[in-house]
Amino acid sequence: MSLLGIPPAPGAGRARYARAMALYAQGALSPAQLEAYRVAAAHDGPPNATFADRGLPLPQDSWPDDPILTAVDEADRYLATLQGPGLAEVRAGIAAHRAAPLPPDPQSHPVVETHLPPALKALHETHPALAQALAQVAPLLHWHPYDRYPAETIGADFLHGNAYALLIGEGAPIPAPDFHLGLFLIAPHVVYRDHNHPAPELYAPLTGPHGWRFDPKAPLVIKPAHQPVWNPSLQPHLIKIGPMPYLCLYGWTRDTDKPALVIPADDWPALETLRL
């Protein structure tokens, strides 16, 4: 079928053409075969009919599985099982930007080394394919702490207890302007203090439980794993992590370069000692 390792899915035609361009640059495809992939990119199914119409041989489908694309595809399949606002927007962004990834630029982080294994173990019990894909891709990703807040307002526990890595976005393995798809990991019991940002944001928690509020004066609402949270632009939100490390897929659908701001609240000390 010469799918080049990319199964039929929304956006697969464009991603397949991107891989075909890489193969063409390596001398593995003829100009006519590359053009057939370009034409076939208008749809997302197998390109067989386009090749047959042009009397061209199908290339041998020997492109190896790519851990980045496998993780993106598994993430997209997972999001397709959920319901709620923001999911369609994030999945549309994934489809629009799915392409052959750049070479890895790996960087680990102590939070990842300590807390990702138990999070993935918990995820594997319910979603083994997604857990396996994330386990394979994690060592290839560039993990950072999210440290764009003043230390005195966001708190040391959060600064030293979080790490994130992009799959799609600026500086990601799959570059994209003004769109993010990534993984976010927070250590147990940490409070991600009240904040907001212009970027509309989807959290798809892969572990739980965890507490949320959407107003600095509101009580916590406890949510389980696999219940997505959509934060419209500038909506305040706080997360209180439970005993399990918090691992989530997250998406920002626009305004990715605009800063987040901490919103003061007087109950942070109590929340930081709270155990869910």
Task: pLDDT band for 158, please (50, 70, 90 cuts).
Answer: very high
Q: Is 142 exposed, middle or buried (0-12, 13-18, 19+ CB in 10 A)?
A: middle
Cβ 228 vs Cβ 254: under 8 Å = no
- pLDDT tens digit string along 75-85? 999 999 999 99
Q: Where are the domains of the chain?
A: 1-64, 67-273
Q: Return the DSSP state at 138.
A: G
Element (H, E) at 78: helix 67-80
φ and ψ at residue 186, rounded to 5 degrees: -130, 140
Task: pLDDT band for 13, please (50, 70, 90 cuts).
Answer: confident
Tell whether the model's pLDDT for residue 3 goes beyond 80. Answer: no
Q: Which residues pair with 145 in a beta bridge?
A: none
CA atoms of 149 and 3, how far apart (whole Å): 44
pTM of the full predicted structure? 0.79
- pLDDT tens digit string along 34-75? 999 999 999 888 899 999 999 999 887 655 578 999 999 999
Token look-up 């138990």 returns 118
CA atoms of 144 and 152, how far apart (whole Å): 19
- What is the per-residue pLDDT for 14? 78
Nearest Cα neighbor of 246 from 273, 274, 266, 276 is 276
Mean pLDDT of the chain: 93
Which tokens sit at 128? 């083994």
Give the three-class secondary structure for 169: coil
Better-predicted residue by pLDDT, 21 or 159: 159
Better-predicted residue by pLDDT, 17 or 37: 37
CA atoms of 77 and 101, how far apart (whole Å): 19
CA atoms of 208 and 119, how far apart (whole Å): 9
**Superfamily (CATH H level) for 67-273:** Jelly Rolls (2.60.120.10)
Token look-up 């496998």 returns 70
CA atoms of 266 and 276, how far apart (whole Å): 19
- What is the per-residue pLDDT for 8? 72
Which tokens sit at 222? 């406890």
- pLDDT tens digit string along 80-103? 999 999 999 999 999 999 888 988
